[in-house]
Amino acid sequence: MNKKIQGLTIILFCGFLGGFSIFNLFTEQRSFSDAENRVLAQFPEFSWKRFFFDNYTADLEEWFTDQFIGRDTWIGVKAASERALGKIENQNVYFGHEDWLIGQVDIQDLTQSQKNIAKINAFAEQSEIPVSLMLVPTAAEIEKDKLPGGAYNTDQNVLLDSLEDQLTSVQIIDVRAALIQQKQRLNSEEALYFKTDHHWTAFGAEAGYEALMSAWGQTALRPGLDFTYQLAADGFKGTQYSRSGAFWHSGDPVWTWSYTDPLTVQVVYDQSQTDTSLFSLKRLAEKDKYMVYLDGNHALAEIETSSSSNEKLLVIKDSYAHVLIPYLAPHFRSITMADLRYYRLPMSELARQMGADRILLVYSVDNFCTDTNLSLLK
């Protein structure tokens, strides 16, 4: 009797998989998953060479997995089930209180950070231009009160203290106190970080901007007086949403702002694409609405402004800088942003060509500890 039940179970299971495989063949293939924010595998073209020598069956399995009917629904159901059973994270994203999705920061190996520190110190020592560095803590530190019980993260305060003590040749812009003060000022509809994404928001970057202006001996512009926020979009579902499978989340608001005293800008991306705004509003129609800030990732972004200042700023950065730089635009005649993931020419030469008066490095602390591209800093 048991053998009959086992046999029936096997037949039903094989029939289930076979049936879905046939359905998948006749269902329109998706090229991209908005929920997961990634390209999906397509049906692999068959050839005997690929079958015998190129692991064709693995490609077929990947296609079946990616194109499985109702894939996004199944992923969401799985994540919801695990959360209901008491699991506190999925894919290294914690299910936090008040619908927060907070990425885990677990930095055990500091080998790369030591290399980055040495490279930055050497670069700053050789530079005739003053160099400043801003390392931004993530939500796992500043919003740790939102984490579920039992969540583990590297203590970013201890880590930042250690890193900043070793960065002896640069001016450190410590944003922690400014972020905590800003958090106390915000209302319930505002946040320092996106609940569904790994970046800080316009309000978090405003705190970073204030810390930067204070360190540089300048006066920061005031919200409500010198600039006004506008709700640009709602329902932004970022990287933590895609990674965690928490597809029930409604998403985050995205804010832009305008200046009381009109500011004219011209932005040239990668020496080819031109814009007259610091905010790429067309990006709000896309899944990654964070790209509204200076059009997302580019190797080079060159900003010319109508600022009364004659100073020029070179920013070497990761994507945390994108929402920060629009605050700095009124204070500089020219700002050039370089991303070492894509831009390979020497930063010292770029600074000389543009006539930079200051150099600013902006990185999230977790990215700083793992980024291998700072080895190209020269």
Residue range 77-131, pLDDT digits in tens = 666 667 767 789 998 999 999 999 999 999 999 999 999 999 999 999 999 999 9
Whole-number pLDDT of residue 61:
63
The single-letter DSSP state of residue 137 is -
| Contact status, residue 338 vs residue 302, Cβ threshold 8 Å | no
Whole-number pLDDT of residue 36:
47
Q: What is the mean pLDDT of residues 16-40?
A: 56
Compare 375 and 154 and report the one with higher pLDDT: 154
Whole-number pLDDT of residue 369:
97
Compare 156 and 188 and report the one with higher pLDDT: 156
- Threshold 0.75, pTM exceeds: yes
Whole-number pLDDT of residue 26:
55
Report which secondary-structure segment, H or E, holds 49.
helix 48-53
Locate 229 and state its tokens.
Answer: 């926020």
Distance (Å, whole) CA 77 – CA 61: 22
Q: What is the mean pLDDT of residues 219-240?
A: 97
Q: How confident is the model at residue 12 (pLDDT cuts 50, 70, 90)?
A: low
Beta partners for 334? 304, 312
Mean pLDDT of the chain: 88
Amino acid at 150: G
Give per-residue pLDDT as tens, 285-300. 999 999 999 999 999 9
Distance (Å, whole) CA 18 – CA 12: 10
- Which of 160, 185, 191, 192 shows the shortest CA–CA distance to 173? 160
> Percent of the chain, pLDDT > 90?
74
Does the structure show a pLDDT above 60 at 163?
Answer: yes
